[in-house]
Chains A and B, each alone.
Chain A
Amino acid sequence: NAGVTQTPKFRILKIGQSMTLQCTQDMNHNYMYWYRQDPGMGLKLIYYSVGAGITDKGEVPNGYNVSRSTTEDFPLRLELAAPSQTSVYFCASRREGGTDTQYFGPGTRLTVL
């Protein structure tokens, strides 16, 4: 199993540009999550999904969009990038159930200039 994979690893955007952060998991997990982590800070939940076709907002959804057309993929779309979106983005997945571990991808480091 590759686990949770994310692309790209690094990206620099100009203000106003758009991009999609890709996330794929091969563990057949129903739950998937997008977090951002600012320097020296904890995780903030952007969006999450409990299955294909079902998504919901987290704590900081403004400026982002998601879709979940398959169990495996959960892309995060940034429209009109702003400097405040400079951060490291982590995708995560887990099976259903309260005892289940969350598996994280390696992250995408995004800089908006």
Chain B
Amino acid sequence: GDSVTQMEGPVTLSEEAFLTINCTYTATGYPSLFWYVQYPGEGLQLLLKATKADDKGSNKGFEATYRKETTSFHLEKGSVQVSDSAVYFCALTLSGGSYIPTFGRGTSLIVHP
């Protein structure tokens, strides 16, 4: 079946450090890929998405590129801030009758001043 694998957390960084959170997937069709962010005490919200191979999603300084050859969608940010501390979820959805998005387990990011 379809699956999403994320790197284990927590990821602990100092402010202004470079961030990478790895995400790889397996899917039977051509998925759309998403990163969602969950701030403490809140629901998930979309951070960025990419709907086809080689697309780059970007938002709030975060970027991720849809790599079909490596089945990956790694999340990056050049300089993290304390306010980026949150849990990040990688997810995929498929077109054509599949109703249920597949989520990774989430990666907690802690940024220290």
Contact = CB atoms under 8 A, between A and B. Distances in A.
Contact of B93 (A48, A50, A98): A98
A103 B45 CA distance: 7
Interface residues of A, number: 25
Given A102-B101, A104-B45, A97 B34 contact: no
B105 A101 contact: no
B89 A42 contact: yes
Given A31-B99, A106-B42, A106-B43, 13 more contacts: A4-B43, A41-B106, A42-B89, A42-B104, A43-B103, A48-B100, A50-B99, A98-B31, A99-B51, A99-B93, A101-B46, A102-B101, A104-B36
17 contacts: A42-B89, A42-B103, A42-B106, A43-B103, A58-B100, A90-B44, A92-B44, A98-B31, A98-B94, A98-B95, A98-B96, A99-B49, A99-B93, A101-B49, A104-B36, A104-B44, A107-B42
